[in-house]
């Protein structure tokens, strides 16, 4: 039987219990299970039960040239997208941070790419990008410029995907920075005005330093997401042409759901997990230094 | 008192979790879950399912998926033992070995296979038990624009040399002379006939051999044709990308599976009048005239089906002669022998398509890909070689080395799965 006062005495454990169970079941278990599979040789094509093989999957994956290529590509994609998105997003936020007619309409339009579903975005952009019947090459030909292969050529596929990512996610950075701008105190600006600072000086010496923590937060959020990008790339190129747009997440997907090699796929995912973790820790350190 | 209430409340909430299973069981209308492919026959079935529901009272929950996603979904559900699928369309050459090996198909002891070509049933057979009902067959053909051929004064090519010459003449004014799948893994099936016609094979007695001189010659030809005369971005193109280009009038010749004729000439989707679209046999090569002819789609039942009776009823209906004839009349080539002999079919079907089928049935090769469990990975590996050939217009100096490297990799896969050599 439950002792009297048991609930009252243990309320602080009982109330968080559902949340704890949720976290264990839905977050810790999948990660732990993936880690376990990464130490096995589980493949469906062999029809054999799985066997624990230690670090063998990791060693095989490290020797796979596609893995290193995908790792480099993941970083290149993230770097290109996040740098462009932070610059554009901050600029848009600064422009929007004043009163003008139609501001709300503009903000609404900015939100649209954020709420569109990635697969639909991928399909529409693929139509734009189609080298033979697509809109962009038509525009290029009208302007008398040479046509591009866009997502169908190895050399241009990654930048083309970065453009789609920029189109979709710049508004998010803009909105975060805009919120940061709204929270800035007006005092430094008043004193700068008294001292006769130009608007460029105000921007460089007051606004941007004060905004740095906000912008860095936006970058962290965006970069973590960009490192894991899957939907747009899969919807548009499935990692092609050849392997030219294969990022770590796409590679892991192919190893698990096309090759049914779950051991090695899990090893790739554990690598990706650490890449994201180390990156986030690094940027958080940087943010601390800014705050000091 | 309050405490007791809390405990009772929690307990009752928990109980309902267990109760659900028991409460749902009795006297419900029979319901089955069916997975179909985004394939002309899948579309035909989907449209006809209400008739099946009305006549049997069985409720059918249908999902349609693109072919590779269908394989992935089935495999994941079966492998994790979480499947509620009852009946599904399946690709015998792609997933047959894998599914049979893992025991995911139910054996079809009660199905009447007498109306099917023996070889097409044997692909899905193990230890005397048949697991797959052959549904659709396909073989490789050449689709071409009759009007462009007439304008250029060309005759329909019967050899690969003539095909190349025609491609050269027809590539002009923003029109690509020749197209065929160039997208790595997806190209493997369509390249296979070229490989056979140059005297090569993917696997010989379960050993990879696509690096022989004949195979390299075929790769160079395919790469040269697509690299030189193919539409832009050909290494990213599978049939779903080539069809709109052909329908937009930007492609003069296209080799692909025979199943697409109905869609190509669909007046709601194409700018080319049906009278201008011709279909003919794949041209013969220097060493052979063997287009692939395969059972591209079959239908299977899940070994874990909870509604085996209803599932069997659906399977019998979906693979019936009546629907097969309906399929034939929309130019979907069916596996049933009797469907081909039907008088309305012989009258209603495109005579050019019938001629290509007769040619392929007589000369063709029954596989269009390496027949092995790890076929997905093998296709990617072969696809790398095909892409290299296309990107260099067939001139790559490292093609031989690359092909040999991939042959070794495919042999490793065969060994790992215990399928190397023998038989």
Is B56 among the domain residues? yes
| Contacts made by residues A153-156, CB under 8 angstroms, sequence distance 24+ | A153/A241, A153/B233, A153/B235, A154/A241, A154/A242, A154/A244, A154/B235, A154/B391
Which one, of B338, B416, B331, B333, lies nearest residue B373 by Cα?
B416
What CA–CA distance (Å, rounded) separates A249 from A265? Answer: 9
Confidence of residue A77 (pLDDT cuts 50, 70, 90): very high
Across B122-132, average pLDDT:
90
User: What is the b/e burial string over A205-240, where b = at least 16 CB atoms within 10 angstroms of the residue's CB?
Assistant: ebbeebbeebbbbbbbbbbbbbbbbeebbbbbbbbb
pLDDT at B9 over 90: no
Tokens 């790769």, residue located:
B219
Q: Cβ contact (<8 Å) for A47 and B237?
A: no
Is A132 close to B377, i.e. CB distance below 8 A? no
Residues B188 and B72 in one domain: no
Chain A residues 164-193 with CB within 8 Å of chain B: none
| Boundaries of every domain in chain A | 1-27, 39-291
Band the pLDDT of A286: cuts 50, 70, 90: confident
Q: Where are the alpha helices (DSSP H) in B265-391?
A: 308-318, 321-329, 337-341, 343-348, 351-363, 375-391
With contact defined as beta carbons under 8 Å apart, do B367 and B381 qualify?
no
**In a shared domain, residues B97 and B186:** no
Sign of CA dihedral A49, B372, B120, B85: positive
Give the pLDDT band of residue B16 (cuts 50, 70, 90): very low
Q: HSE-up of A126 (CA within 13 Å, CB side)?
A: 20
User: Could you tell me if residue B406 is inside a domain?
Assistant: yes
Task: Report pLDDT for B17.
Answer: 42
Domain-located, residue B131:
yes
B5 found inside a domain? no
Last residue of a domain, one of B361, B381, B408: B361
Is B232 in contact with A131 (Cβ distance < 8 A)? yes
Residue numbers in A near B383 (CB within 8 A): 242
Confirm whether B284 is domain-assigned. yes
For residues B149 and B38, state if they share a domain: no
DSSP character string of A41-54: --BSTT-PPP-B-T
* Average pLDDT value for residue range B362-379: 91
Distance CA B289, CA B363 (A): 7
**B236 and B150 co-located in one domain:** yes
Tokens 């790792």 -> residue: A71
Q: Are residues B122 and B263 in the same domain?
A: no
CA–CA dist A107, A92 (Å, integer): 10
Specify the pLDDT at position B400. Answer: 96
Q: Which domain holds residue B112?
A: 31-137+294-361
Question: Band of the pLDDT at B10, cuts 50, 70, 90?
Answer: low
When pLDDT is cut at 50, 70 and 90, the band that residue B79 belongs to is: confident
- Contact by Cβ (8 Å): A244, A195: no
Residue B19 lies in a domain: no
Place of tokens 């097969």: B324
| Among candidate residues A235, A217, A189, the one with its CA nearest the CA of residue A90 | A217
Which of the four CATH numbers 1.10.3720.10, 1.10.1270.20, 3.90.950.10, 1.20.140.10 does domain A39-291 have?
A: 1.10.3720.10
Confidence at residue A204, expressed as pLDDT on a 0 to 100 scale: 84
Give the closest residue to A258 by CA, choosing from B133, B412, B413, B104. B413
Specify whether the backbone of B205 is left (phi greater than 0), alpha (psi in -120 to 50) or beta. left
Count of alpha carbons within 13 Å of A173, Cβ hemisphere only? 33
Average pLDDT over residues B64-83: 88
Of A292 and B55, the one with more pLDDT: B55
Name which of B233, B371, B384 to mutate to probe chain A: the one with the most chain A Cβ atoms within 10 A of its Cβ. Answer: B233
Tell me what pLDDT residue B7 has. Answer: 54
When scoring A241, A244, A254 by the number of chain B Cβ atoms within 10 A, the one with the most, hence best to mutate, is A241
pLDDT at residue B23 greater than cutoff 60: no
Section A101-124 average pLDDT: 88
User: Is B379 in the same domain as B250?
Assistant: yes
Distance separating alpha carbons of residues A8 and B3, to the nearest angstrom: 10
B283 and B175 share a domain?
yes
* Number of domains, chain B: 2
Among the partner-chain residues B231, B235, B417, the one whose CB lies closest to the CB of A242 is: B235
Residues in A touching B76 (Cβ below 8 Å): 257
* Contact between A47 and B248 using a beta-carbon 8 Å cutoff: no
The verdict on B115 and B185 lying in the same domain is: no
- Rg (C-alpha) for chain B, rounded Å, is 24
Assess whether pLDDT exceeds 60 at residue B230: yes
Which of A34, A51, A135, A152 to mutate to test binding with chain B, by most B CBs within 10 Å of its CB?
A152
Last residue in a domain, options B361, B377, B392:
B361
* Other C-beta atoms lying within 10 Å of the C-beta of residue A20: 12
My answer on whether B231 and B373 are in the same domain is: yes
How far is the C-alpha of B361 from the C-alpha of B340, rounded, in Å?
Answer: 12
Measure B384 CA to nearest chain A CA, in Å.
6
Q: How confident is the model at residue B298 (pLDDT cuts 50, 70, 90)?
A: very high
B43 within domain boundaries? yes
Residues B36 and B133 placed together within one structural domain of the fold: yes
pLDDT at residue B133 in the model: 95
Contact B64, B42 (CB under 8 A): yes
Nearest to A45 among B3, B183, B374 (CB): B374
Q: Do B112 and B216 fall within a single domain?
A: no
pLDDT grade for A250, boundaries at 50, 70 and 90? very high
Q: What is the pLDDT of residue B187?
A: 95
Reduced to 3 states (helix: H, G, I; strand: E, B; else coil), residue B103 is coil
| Interior angle at CA B341, CA B335 and CA B342, nearest 5 | 105
- Give the pLDDT band (50/70/90) at residue B262: confident
The CA-based angle B75-B237-A69, given to 5 degrees, is: 70
pLDDT of residue B330: 85
pLDDT (tens digit, 9 = 90+) per residue, B129-141? 999 999 999 999 9
Q: What is the mean pLDDT of residues A95-123?
A: 88
What was the pLDDT predicted at B54? 93
| Mean per-residue pLDDT, B165-191 | 94
In this prediction, residue B3 carries a pLDDT of: 61
Per-residue confidence band for B247, with pLDDT thresholds at 50, 70 and 90: very high
| Among chain A residues, CA nearest to B233 | A152
Q: Which residue has the higher pLDDT, B119 or A218?
A: A218
pLDDT for res B6 = 55
Question: B231-241: buried (b, 16+ CB within 10 Å) or exposed (e) per residue?
Answer: bbbbbbbbbeb
User: Residue B75 maps to which CATH number?
Assistant: 3.40.190.10
Report the phi/psi class of residue B249: left, alpha or beta, with left for phi > 0 and alpha for psi in -120 to 50: left
* Element (DSSP H or E) covering residue A236: helix A231-236
């Amino acid at each position: 039987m439950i002792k009297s006062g048991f609930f009252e005495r243990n309320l602080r454990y009982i109330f968080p219990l559902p949340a704890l169970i949720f976290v264990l079941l839905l977050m810790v278990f999948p990660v732990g299970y993936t880690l376990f599979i990464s130490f096995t040789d589980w493949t469906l094509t062999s029809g054999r039960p799985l066997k624990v093989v230690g670090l063998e999957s990791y060693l095989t994956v490290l020797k796979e040239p596609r893995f290193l290529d995908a790792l480099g590509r993941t970083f290149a994609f993230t770097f290109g997208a996040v740098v462009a998105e932070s610059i554009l997003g901050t600029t848009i936020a600064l422009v929007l941070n004043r009163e003008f007619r139609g501001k709300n309409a503009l903000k609404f339009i900015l939100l649209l790419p954020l709420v569109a579903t990635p697969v639909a975005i991928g399909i529409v952009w693929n139509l734009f990008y189609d080298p033979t019947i697509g809109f962009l090459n038509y525009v290029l030909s009208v302007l008398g410029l040479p046509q591009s292969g866009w997502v169908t050529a190895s050399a241009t596929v990654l930048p083309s995907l970065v453009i789609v990512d920029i189109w979709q996610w710049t508004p998010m950075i803009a909105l975060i920075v805009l919120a940061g701008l709204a929270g800035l105190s007006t005092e430094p600006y008043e004193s700068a005005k008294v001292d006769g600072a130009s608007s460029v000086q105000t921007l460089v010496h007051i606004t941007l330093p004060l905004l740095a923590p906000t912008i860095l937060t936006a970058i962290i959020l965006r970069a973590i997401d960009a490192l894991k990008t899957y939907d747009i790339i899969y919807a548009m190129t499935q990692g092609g042409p050849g392997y030219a747009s294969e990022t770590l997440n796409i590679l892991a997907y192919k190893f698990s759901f096309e090759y049914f090699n779950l051991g090695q796929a899990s090893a790739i995912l554990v690598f990706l997990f650490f890449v994201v973790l180390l990156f986030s820790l690094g940027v958080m350190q940087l943010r601390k230094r800014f705050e000091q | 008192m309050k405490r007791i209430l809390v405990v009772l409340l929690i307990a009752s909430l928990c109980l309902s979790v267990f109760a659900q299973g028991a409460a749902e069981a009795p006297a419900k209308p029979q319901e089955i879950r069916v997975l179909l492919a985004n394939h002309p026959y899948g579309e035909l079935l989907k449209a006809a399912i209400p008739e099946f529901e009305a006549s049997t009272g069985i409720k059918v929950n249908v999902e349609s998926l693109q072919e590779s996603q269908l394989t992935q979904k089935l495999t994941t559900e079966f492998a994790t033992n979480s499947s509620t699928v009852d009946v599904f369309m399946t690709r015998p050459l792609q997933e047959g070995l894998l599914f049979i090996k893992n025991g995911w198909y139910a054996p079809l002891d009660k199905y009447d296979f007498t109306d099917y070509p023996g070889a097409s049933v044997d692909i899905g057979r193990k230890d005397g038990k048949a697991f797959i009902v052959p549904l659709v067959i396909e073989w490789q053909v050449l689709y071409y624009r009759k009007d462009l051929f007439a304008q250029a004064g060309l005759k329909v090519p019967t050899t690969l040399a003539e095909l190349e010459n025609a491609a050269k003449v027809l590539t002009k004014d923003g029109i690509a002379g020749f197209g065929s799948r160039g997208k790595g893994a997806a190209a493997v099936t369509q390249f296979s006939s070229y490989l056979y016609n140059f005297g090569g094979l993917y696997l010989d007695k379960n050993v990879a051999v696509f690096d022989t001189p004949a195979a390299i010659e075929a790769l160079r030809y395919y790469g040269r044709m697509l690299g030189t005369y193919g539409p832009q971005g050909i290494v990213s193109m599978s049939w779903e990308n080539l069809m709109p280009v052909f329908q937009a009038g930007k492609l003069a010749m296209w080799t692909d599976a025979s199943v697409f004729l109905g869609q190509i000439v669909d007046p709601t989707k194409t700018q080319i009048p049906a009278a201008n679209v011709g279909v003919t046999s794949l041209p013969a090569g220097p060493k052979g005239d063997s287009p692939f002819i395969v059972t591209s789609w079959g239908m299977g039942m899940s070994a874990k089906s909870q509604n085996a009776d209803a599932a069997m009823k659906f399977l019998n209906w979906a693979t019936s002669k009546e629907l097969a004839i309906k399929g034939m009349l929309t130019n979907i080539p069916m596996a049933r022998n009797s469907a081909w002999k039907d008088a309305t079919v012989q009258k209603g079907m495109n005579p050019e398509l019938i001629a290509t089928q007769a040619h392929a049935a007589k000369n063709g090769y029954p596989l269009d890909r390496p027949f092995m469990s790890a076929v997905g990975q093998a296709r990617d590996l072969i696809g790398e070689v095909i892409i290299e050939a296309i990107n260099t217009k067939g001139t790559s100096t490292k093609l031989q080395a690359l092909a040999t490297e991939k042959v070794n990799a495919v042999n490793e896969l065969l060994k790992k799965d215990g399928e190397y050599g023998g038989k």
